[in-house]
Amino acid sequence: MHKHHSALGLATTLRPVQPVTLIRPHAARRAARFFVEKFPGRSMYAVKANPSPDLLQILWDSGITHYDVASIAEVRLVAKTLPAATLCFMHPVKAEEAIEEAYFQHGVRTFSLDSLDELEKIVRATREAQDLTLCVRLRVSSDLSKLSLASKFGCSATEAKALLQATRQAADSLGICFHVGSQAMSPDAYAQAMERVRLAIVEASVLVDVIDVGGGFPSLYPDMEPPALEHYFRTIHRAFEDLPISYSAELWCEPGRALCAEYSSLLVRVERRRGDELYINDGAYGALFDAAHLGWRFPVKLLREGASKAEETEYSFYGPTCDDLDHMAGPFVLPADVQAGDYIEIGMLGAYGSAMRTAFNGFGTEQVAMVDDEPMATLYSGALELASNVVRLDEVRRRLRR
Ligand SMILES: *Cc1c(COP(=O)(O)O)cnc(C)c1O
């Protein structure tokens, strides 16, 4: 892979015809080390946010040992890329064959579920295995998050009691998990969810060994500036300590977005300007699904030799396919003199960017280049002057527990 000093240097010297994913390994490393050092428990990476093997390797090298996988293809991918990694199959509705393969061929021992049907399926597929960690997923509110995950999965408060009791019987280790929705804009989202967890445990009177607070940790986007992640960690830790659970209970989280949003951005070329609409060479069927379908605003930057002195103006984008839906409303703020042939960097696309790319209409190619300048925004600046010999918090806990 080609390595370049900066996005600007790459754009101006190579003038690529195809969109280029610009990856920043140092940004992913920094995010991973932040979670490994500061989250008061175990951080497992939610692979769906960005399943690139390069990224998986970077996270592994930075101390992320556990991976939240949701399909048999993700199980196989991580098992092949990182043979020593621990995989947790956290999709509450799985194919029985997928559970069987995960358990018997890839050593997966942790599964999530939100129904008695799924519990029976897991018990059957693993032939009544005695070494399972089973996490019951509770439905919690997504009200404080930008992207809801509240309707599809999770058992209700009334279903939780029977399901927790039945799962306790089948599990070697019983967990409770939830997901507050993606891009949670307040730590209160976790505090509220933990209250639901507390009620469910009291109701069911079961011994719980794992509390998994899921994903939802935010990144930085225009008009979405969350509090520092340390606040989230503190809120979660406090709520965890208050739960009526076993002394040796473990705390887990499953960050996707927060671990990889800063890892990559996208370099696109303007093919045409029509008023304040820019026709660019990637879009809704490429890495900009969220920009098109969720109206997500990503930061943008004009990459031109000699900065533009024009005032700023608000643009919308059209992607390259022939489809009207291939439209990103933005607004994206750029200098008023943008024209065809200009290059634009669209930032913070490491999470749910390349992962969503399709080949629709012949526009699926993806070039990748490495750059070592800073991402367009970071939640992790200055937070980490860590010597490589610093002992990890989870290591300390593990030693204490022995
Ligand atoms: C998508 C997902 C995650 C990651 O969510 P982010 O908002 O990207 O942190 C974690 N856990 C589960 C079960 C998920 O479905």
Using one digit for the tens of pLDDT, what is the confidence trace for 27-55?
999 999 999 999 999 999 999 999 999 99
User: Residues 75, 99: contact at Cβ < 8 Å?
Assistant: no
What CATH number is given to the structural domain containing 40? 3.20.20.10
**pLDDT over 50 at 390, yes or no:** no
Task: Kindly state if the Cβ of 350 falls inside 6 Å of ligand 1.
Answer: no
Residue 162 is given by DSSP the state H
The reply to whether 32 and 104 lie within a common domain is yes
CB atoms within 10 A of CB 391: 9
Provide the β-strand partners of residue 346.
266, 300
The reply to whether 184 and 40 lie within a common domain is yes
Of 84-98, 122-136, 140-154, the range with the lowest mean pLDDT is 140-154
Looking at residue 382, its pLDDT comes to: 63
Tokens of 229: 């992640």
Tokens of 84: 């020593």
What CATH number is given to the structural domain containing 14? 2.40.37.10
Task: Kindly state if the Cβ of 145 falls inside 6 Å of ligand 1.
Answer: no
- For the stretch 310-358, pLDDT in tens is 999 999 999 999 999 999 999 999 999 999 999 999 999 999 999 999 9
- For the stretch 154-188, pLDDT in tens is 999 899 999 999 999 999 999 999 999 999 999 99
Q: Which domain holds residue 248?
A: 27-260
Section 117-129 average pLDDT: 98
- The atom of ligand 1 lying closest to the CA of 257 is 8
Report phi then psi at 20, rounded to 5: -125, 130
Alpha helix segments (H runs only) across 214-355? 229-241, 257-260, 289-293
Looking at residue 3, its pLDDT comes to: 87
Give residue 254 CA to ligand 1 midpoint distance, Å. 6
Looking at residue 383, its pLDDT comes to: 47
Task: Kindly state if the Cβ of 52 falls inside 6 Å of ligand 1.
Answer: no
Higher pLDDT, 388 or 59: 59
What span, in angstroms and rounded, lies between the C-alpha atoms of 378 and 288?
20
Looking at residue 149, its pLDDT comes to: 86
Which pTM was predicted? 0.92
The reply to whether 184 and 233 lie within a common domain is yes
- The atom of ligand 1 lying closest to the CA of 181 is 7
Give residue 96 CA to ligand 1 midpoint distance, Å. 22
Nearest to 118 by CA among 92, 141, 100: 92
**Tally of domains within the chain:** 2
The reply to whether 213 and 249 lie within a common domain is yes
The reply to whether 108 and 155 lie within a common domain is yes
